[in-house]
Chains A and B, each alone.
Chain A
Amino acid sequence: MKRIGEPILTADRISLAFGGIVALNEISVQIRQSEVLAIIGPNGAGKTSMLNVINGFYHPQAGTIAWKGKTRRRMRPYHAAAQGIARTFQNVALFHGMTTLDNIMTGRLLRMRRNFLWQAIYSGPAEREELAHRAYAEKIIDFLEIQAIRKTPVGRLPYGLQKRVELGRALAMEPELLLLDEPMAGMNVEEKEDMCRFVLDVNDEFGTTIALIEHDMGVVMDISDRIVVLDYGRKIADGPPDEVRTRPEVIAAYLGEER
């Protein structure tokens, strides 16, 4: 079975506020090598903010983030990408006019070594490089079973498939850490099951560490190794699914407190 290793990302006492609204309040989270970590919580609990802090969209007012032991200061999303952190978005953020294949190929951009002039000439090393990247993109297409939509503009695809293409683009970066923001939102049961299988397969076959936000508790309990529960910007629980499920404060956050 898989080994869950040392923490690769450590967020230490992160605080983030927008004006007077405190989105994250001294939150400490560790993400360990090769685990599937779920971040759950009611609406507005700060889950997406947490992901945004991790990949550099937001800059916390206080607290530090260490990626593989190195503490980072101010960082931008492309730094995160270059370091091997990929993500998908709550509202699909693909290039709608481009085909599935082209969208996935954009995920390879960071790994392309030749400059765009050389690529435009498309000869020698540039051609070889392009072929290698295309082969990797095809591996992902095969993995996600989206061969039939390879040449379809993503704007024409149903939502469930767009989510899958977005996952494909993130995978094309060969990330070490994959952040998924509600990968199963708005899907029907069958699509959800497919997505679960892909998430588990990615974790298993590529050894990718995954942190995901999800509302469907059935899904969360099934696929995650560990769960972090946020509520009003505070962390109220952190542990394996079975343990978290029984915590009274988690039940209260989800079902409301008895009065």
Chain B
Amino acid sequence: MRRNVSPAADDRLLSAAGDALDTFPKLLLGHVRSRPERPANREKDFGIWRSWSWAEIATEVEALACGLSAMGFRRRDKLAIIGDNRPRLYWAIAAAQALGGVPVPVYQDSIAEEMAFVLNHAEVRFAVAEDQEQVDKLIAIKEECPHLETVIFSDPRGMRHYEQSFLHDYETIQAGGREFAHSDRNFFRDEVAKGRGSDTAIILYTSGTTGRPKGVVLTFDNVLISAKNAIAFEGLTDREEALAYLPMAWIGEHIFSYAQAYCAGFCASCPESQATVMADLRELGPTYLFAPPRIFENILTQVMIRMEDAGWVKRKLFHYFLRVAKRVGLPVLDRQAVPLFDRALYWLGNVLVYGPLKNMLGLSRVRVAYTAGEAIGPDLFNFYRSLGINLKQLYGMTESSVFLCIQKDGAVKPDTVGSPIEDVEIRIAEDGEVLFRSPGAFQCYYKNPEATAEVKRPDDWVHTGDSGFFDPDGQLKILDRAKDVGWLEGGSLFAPRFIENKLKYFPHIKEAVVFGDSRPFVAALINIDLGAVGDWAQRRNLPYASYQELAAEDTVYDLIEDCIEQVNRDLAAEPALAPSQICRFLVLHKELDADDGELTRTRKVRRRIIAARYQSLVDALYSGRPTGRIETEITFEDGRIAHMRAELAIRDVAATSPLPERRLLKKAS
């Protein structure tokens, strides 16, 4: 769909791109010159994919930037951006940057109180919100946020009766901007030209597993150089298709759907809603995909559940060819020698099963897919790779503008995160902590010099807080958060996340938190996966009315016990970890939730908070009692609080020898 981009406007925008392309707005103007007609953004709205070319988004960004400026937005002002992935919100990032301001994306599912903290800490004067839901939160905290002056909303639905004078419609602001641009034709171009690579490009608040969020300050140089190095590493072009569906406040999303799209000139497409991501993925068929492990897990769970419902022939065919893929898929993908017969069989499997399956999932065009953020189960990882999907792991964090290590094609292992890319130096400290130096290394934590000094030392080495080591091939292997590693009472090493990940590889287990530091043995709190366990229960005609009821079922405990026994067998195979076998567990009555502060917004477990909240349950686990009693508070998304009381069963698990003596005694009696 072409809209009104006059040739004159194009010319006017073009001449700004003369100097070095060291900021995103300059890159934007560069694209207007080199690929004005190529799509830059797409969005599915009212059931139809609608697209905007680079030339079109440049005029949209210009209108918004001029409108913001007319409203009093000045250089170094912060612009908060709150909402699901929408092209308009991405334009707001570019508009703020064009004016020399700093975009501060906020997690859209933050409760009002979290939002108030970020807005106050960053001294945000302007905010762009997606819809009524976000505006309501902003109105609720307006009093507490003295800096906040103007709120711009993108979707006016439901807000006809809102009379607050600080609320403005996105389109009205843009209309004002167009008028402003008319009177000062060179304003936008001049503002863009003032930007320098060393300016602050963005402040991203990390959810952090402990304490208050910290604002990570990144410059254009940080983000741009990292993004470009990764583009060169993978050979990405302006023909890539990417789906922008992860939270905009997360560095990964910012890099993949904004920074890299602007650097390489490819198109980032926004799904219709969070609930339609899978369907939109299928329609779009991205070539460049990023997803945290839980998404790949969900997809696999869905596929397996639906295959159970398929006819007998299809089911046999599916499982037969999955076994073939398991055997020969990985060597085929890594271009190793494969016997002719196997190759033919794999080809047939591709025609009958893998091809249609990938097509169903929207993964048939994927050239590069990344997973990161958490460890991914080797079975899960290899499942996708054996289907011929080039899924790889990478290592990075907000403080490094993501890219530190990426796995090279042909050298992919499920348990490493690859080797350092161009310009990145990585060193393992004496205590095992991973340190890095890279052009993507962050400037500082905003207004928090103590925290900055703790992480970024004067010699420029940044301390990641992860402990890891290089394997013989020079690939980095991450063990755990350094501060989480502890010791059992018996004196053996206890790496909680390592065990939890092993548990989470089972589709029935959604989250797990294990305890063991300074304890006689390891015990676990388990969260079941409602989808997978619910389906499992349905197949067994097991009635349940709620999550709580399902979680308390005896048979569900049996199911989880099986999973834990398998983990124990795995752990027993490694002498150093054998004492970390899980001896007791219970299934929690509610899902761990970011709104209750139990998980970060990127769904990482907040160990200390959970330990404190479920203190009575942890005590029960170590007391030998058969049940634990708990009373918890639940926070709803709108901030209301409810109480929940429960008595949870605790179960002992058989450990594989060698095992802690306590277990032996119990068995004998």
Contacting A at CB under 8 A, from B414-461, are none
| A141 and B279 contacting across the interface, CB-CB below 8 Å | no
Query: In the assembly, what is the distance between CA of A148 and CA of B48, in Å?
Result: 13
Query: In the assembly, what is the distance between CA of A148 and CA of B160, in Å?
Result: 26
Query: In the assembly, what is the distance between CA of A45 and CA of B47, in Å?
Result: 43
B518: CB under 8 A from chain A? no
* In the complex, per-residue mask of B273-301: 1 if CB is within 8 Å of any chain A CB, else 0: 10110010000000000000000000000
Given contacts A139-B46, A147-B47, A150-B47, contact A201 B158 (CB under 8 A): yes
- List chain B residues, Cβ under 8 A from A138: 46-48
Smallest beta-carbon distance A111→chain B, Å: 18
Smallest beta-carbon distance A133→chain B, Å: 13
Contacting A at CB under 8 A, from B45-94, are 45-48
Query: In the assembly, what is the distance between CA of A138 and CA of B46, in Å?
Result: 5
- List chain B residues, Cβ under 8 A from A145: 273
| A205 and B47 contacting across the interface, CB-CB below 8 Å | no
Smallest beta-carbon distance B134→chain A, Å: 15
The prevalent SS among residues of A at the interface is: helix
Smallest beta-carbon distance A188→chain B, Å: 9
- List chain A residues, Cβ under 8 A from B598: none
B511: CB under 8 A from chain A? no
Contacting B at CB under 8 A, from A130-188, are 134-135, 138-139, 141-143, 145, 147-148, 150-151
* In the complex, per-residue mask of B242-285: 1 if CB is within 8 Å of any chain A CB, else 0: 00000000000000000000000000000011011001000000
Query: In the assembly, what is the distance between CA of A157 and CA of B46, in Å?
Result: 21
Partner pick for B276 among A139, A147, A204, CB 8 A cutoff? A147
Smallest beta-carbon distance B546→chain A, Å: 9
Query: In the assembly, what is the distance between CA of A41 and CA of B160, in Å?
Result: 34
Given contacts A138-B47, A139-B46, A141-B47, contact A205 B157 (CB under 8 A): yes
Partner pick for A147 among B157, B158, B160, B272, CB 8 A cutoff? B272
| B275 and A142 contacting across the interface, CB-CB below 8 Å | no
Name the residue on B nearest A193 (C-beta): B638
Smallest beta-carbon distance A2→chain B, Å: 9
Query: In the assembly, what is the distance between CA of A147 and CA of B279, in Å?
Result: 10
Query: In the assembly, what is the distance between CA of A235 and CA of B273, in Å?
Result: 45
| B276 and A148 contacting across the interface, CB-CB below 8 Å | yes
- List chain B residues, Cβ under 8 A from A150: 47
- List chain A residues, Cβ under 8 A from B273: 145, 147-148
Smallest beta-carbon distance A4→chain B, Å: 15
B161: CB under 8 A from chain A? yes
- List chain A residues, Cβ under 8 A from B160: 204-205
Query: In the assembly, what is the distance between CA of A121 and CA of B31, in Å?
Result: 44
Smallest beta-carbon distance B305→chain A, Å: 13
- List chain A residues, Cβ under 8 A from B47: 134, 138, 141, 147, 150
Smallest beta-carbon distance B314→chain A, Å: 19
- List chain B residues, Cβ under 8 A from A201: 157-158
| B161 and A1 contacting across the interface, CB-CB below 8 Å | yes
**Which residue, A142, A145, A201, has most C-beta atoms of chain B within 10 A?**
A142
Smallest beta-carbon distance A118→chain B, Å: 24
Smallest beta-carbon distance B476→chain A, Å: 39
Smallest beta-carbon distance B564→chain A, Å: 32
Query: In the assembly, what is the distance between CA of A150 and CA of B273, in Å?
Result: 12
Smallest beta-carbon distance B549→chain A, Å: 14
Smallest beta-carbon distance A143→chain B, Å: 8
**Which residue, A142, A147, A205, has most C-beta atoms of chain B within 10 A?**
A147
**B contact residues, total (Cβ < 8 Å):** 13
Query: In the assembly, what is the distance between CA of A73 and CA of B612, in Å?
Result: 71
| B46 and A142 contacting across the interface, CB-CB below 8 Å | yes
Query: In the assembly, what is the distance between CA of A138 and CA of B273, in Å?
Result: 14
Smallest beta-carbon distance A12→chain B, Å: 35
* In the complex, per-residue mask of B151-185: 1 if CB is within 8 Å of any chain A CB, else 0: 00000011011000000000000000000000000
Smallest beta-carbon distance B433→chain A, Å: 43
- List chain A residues, Cβ under 8 A from B272: 147
Smallest beta-carbon distance A158→chain B, Å: 12
Name the residue on B nearest A197 (C-beta): B158
Query: In the assembly, what is the distance between CA of A135 and CA of B45, in Å?
Result: 11
Smallest beta-carbon distance B658→chain A, Å: 49
* In the complex, per-residue mask of B619-653: 1 if CB is within 8 Å of any chain A CB, else 0: 00000000000000000000000000000000000
**Which residue, B47, B48, B273, B276, has most C-beta atoms of chain A within 10 A?**
B47
- List chain B residues, Cβ under 8 A from A135: 46
- List chain A residues, Cβ under 8 A from B275: 147-148
Contacting B at CB under 8 A, from A169-222, are 201, 204-205
Query: In the assembly, what is the distance between CA of A251 and CA of B48, in Å?
Result: 52
- List chain A residues, Cβ under 8 A from B46: 135, 138-139, 141-142
Smallest beta-carbon distance B282→chain A, Å: 11
Name the residue on A nearest B637 (C-beta): A190
Query: In the assembly, what is the distance between CA of A141 and CA of B45, in Å?
Result: 11
Query: In the assembly, what is the distance between CA of A121 and CA of B38, in Å?
Result: 36
- List chain A residues, Cβ under 8 A from B161: 1, 204
Smallest beta-carbon distance B640→chain A, Å: 10
- List chain B residues, Cβ under 8 A from A148: 273, 275-276, 279
Query: In the assembly, what is the distance between CA of A28 and CA of B227, in Å?
Result: 71
Query: In the assembly, what is the distance between CA of A143 and CA of B45, in Å?
Result: 12
* In the complex, per-residue mask of A74-100: 1 if CB is within 8 Å of any chain B CB, else 0: 000000000000000000000000000
Name the residue on A nearest B160 (C-beta): A204
Query: In the assembly, what is the distance between CA of A215 and CA of B522, in Å?
Result: 51
Query: In the assembly, what is the distance between CA of A252 and CA of B45, in Å?
Result: 51
Smallest beta-carbon distance A258→chain B, Å: 34
Smallest beta-carbon distance A5→chain B, Å: 18
Name the residue on B nearest A137 (C-beta): B47
Query: In the assembly, what is the distance between CA of A142 and CA of B48, in Å?
Result: 12
Query: In the assembly, what is the distance between CA of A1 and CA of B162, in Å?
Result: 10
- List chain B residues, Cβ under 8 A from A147: 47, 272-273, 275-276
- List chain A residues, Cβ under 8 A from B158: 201, 204-205
- List chain A residues, Cβ under 8 A from B279: 148, 151
Query: In the assembly, what is the distance between CA of A1 and CA of B161, in Å?
Result: 7
* In the complex, per-residue mask of B564-581: 1 if CB is within 8 Å of any chain A CB, else 0: 000000000000000000
Query: In the assembly, what is the distance between CA of A206 and CA of B2, in Å?
Result: 31
- List chain A residues, Cβ under 8 A from B45: 142
Smallest beta-carbon distance B48→chain A, Å: 8
Smallest beta-carbon distance B612→chain A, Å: 28
Smallest beta-carbon distance B215→chain A, Å: 32
Name the residue on A nearest B277 (C-beta): A148
Given contacts A148-B279, A204-B158, 15 further A-B contacts (CB under 8 A): A135-B46, A138-B46, A138-B48, A141-B47, A142-B45, A145-B273, A147-B47, A147-B272, A147-B276, A148-B276, A150-B47, A151-B279, A201-B158, A204-B160, A205-B158
Binding site for A on B (CB under 8 A): 45-48, 157-158, 160-161, 272-273, 275-276, 279
A and B contact pairs by CB, cutoff 8 A, 23 listed: A134-B47, A139-B46, A141-B46, A141-B47, A142-B45, A142-B46, A143-B157, A145-B273, A147-B47, A147-B272, A147-B273, A147-B275, A147-B276, A148-B273, A148-B276, A148-B279, A150-B47, A201-B157, A204-B158, A204-B160, A205-B157, A205-B158, A205-B160
- Which 4 A-B pairs give the minimum distances between C-beta atoms? A148-B275, A138-B46, A138-B47, A148-B276
